[in-house]
Amino acid sequence: MNAKDTGGISFSTVAELYDMIKNEDDLQIVDVRETSEYGSEKIKGATSAPLSRFKESSRRIDRNRHSYIICQSGKRAENYAEQLLENGYENVSVVKGGLKSWIDAGYPVEKGGSRVWSLERQVRFTAGLLVLLGVILSFVFNPMFLILPAIVGAGLIFAAVTDTCGMAMALARMPWNQKC
């Protein structure tokens, strides 16, 4: 395996993971996306362990097997892996590029029956809706409603700078995102 080791976290490519799956190596794929995302598409055999519920979901991980942590693009997987390492887990690798890279490489995924939009799509919809609502309300009722789009814009800038998204974290806790 050509995993790159950085700060205690090992990284693997989707090609390396696919080869290990084909060779039936003793591994586990840990999908840290939210339940609704996992329900829409996943790698066959992956275990759902949402980052937003780390304390509960990390109990599903077998400490004796090598864990390949995957999310949509990689950021949540790194965060999850860091927390696993802090809690004494070993043999943890983050899959670079996440499920997006897996799909782009043409590797198979299982499609689920979940009709819930991805968190990214929910964030775009909610942000757009709040901006539009603020503009309409400012024309109809009071220009002070322009504060709403300003807050959304500031939140998006903060999300980009810090590579975290408060709106996504809030949406992940919504009831429709809890069960497939």
**Tens digit of each residue's pLDDT (9 = 90 or more) over 117-144:** 777 788 889 999 999 999 999 999 999 9
pLDDT tens per residue, range 37-77: 787 788 888 988 888 888 888 888 888 888 899 988 878 88
Q: How far apart are CA 22 and CA 43, in angstroms?
A: 13
- At residue 180's C-alpha, the angle toward residues 93 and 28, to 5°, is 20
- Indicate if the pLDDT at residue 2 is higher than 60: no
Would you call 71 a catalytic residue per the annotation?
A: yes
CATH number of 4-111: 3.40.250.10
CB 169 within 8 A of CB 155: no
**Taking residues 148-156, what's their average pLDDT?**
92
Across the range 141-153, mean pLDDT stands at 94
Q: What is the per-residue pLDDT for 149?
A: 94
pLDDT, tens only, 81-121 = 998 888 888 889 999 988 888 989 998 888 876 676 777 78
- Chain mean pLDDT for the chain: 84
- Candidate list 51, 71, 92, 165, residue with the active-site label: 71
